[in-house]
Structure 1
Amino acid sequence: MSAVNSVGRSARKVAVLIVGVAVVLAGVALLALPGPGVLVIIVGLVVLATEFEWAQRLLDYVVERAAGATTKVQESKSGRIMLALSGLILIGAGVVVIVFFSSWLVAGISLILAGVIGLCTLLPKVQDWIAQRALTGIDDTDDVA
């Protein structure tokens, strides 16, 4: 029975590796294309971190760096205004793409999603979580009982 468990465990690791790397690569592509590239990279690293310790360390580093960058933008009033404006522009651009270029539906949805994510970072509760991640690098979601 342990041979079957070993094969199953290996198959799971390979599947996680394939899916995780594919999602990370999609995120890298979205850095140049319209869409939430950093968010998709983080999701890919979350998938990889379920099986690989190196991915967990990389995930912690990426989230800490992204949180630090977001915190710097949010520290000034002009940064918050630009973040809100860019979120609204992304949402508007996504709607325009969907309405006028229906064959580009995924790009339009990606733009809208990126805009909504940007606007969500302006919420006080999200800002507090981001600031905590930027300062400590500790994931407080593990403390939820």
Structure 2
Amino acid sequence: MADKGGEMSDKPDFPQGSSSWRDRARIAHQTVRANPTGAVALKVIIGVLGAVVVAIGILLIPLPGPGWLIVIGGLAIWAIEFVWARHLLQFTKDKVRGWTGWVTRQSLLVRVLIGLAGLVFVAAVLLTTLRYSFGINVVSQAWAYVNTR
């Protein structure tokens, strides 16, 4: 890699203005993996970090929010180092694209019904979570409020 004066440099040769964080991350990843100890350490770190993110996502799945998205994020972290995770992530992407494509081809009525079903499901999970985790019975409190007004 030559610099502007024609001398050799240790810096990677990036075209002007194209040095992105992805390029730098890729080079850092390759540099660490070039060392056998670094490769093992990287696998362990990626494995543990991915496991923590996946575990948090799994815990959040029953709650309203991005539980599945967090699980997929953990899978993406694992995919940095593990081929099986890369394949599973690609399979997941393909299924999500297939579902999205199918939904977008449906009529507006069907899309609205799918959205409403999703909202009802999230509301049921939220109400159940509030009831059994926190002892708050939202339905009876709302009914009592309605009856007193």
With normalisation by structure 2, the TM-score equals 0.49
With normalisation by structure 1, the TM-score equals 0.50
If asked which structure has higher relative contact order (CA below 8 Å, sep 6+), I would say: 1
Structure index of larger Rg: 2
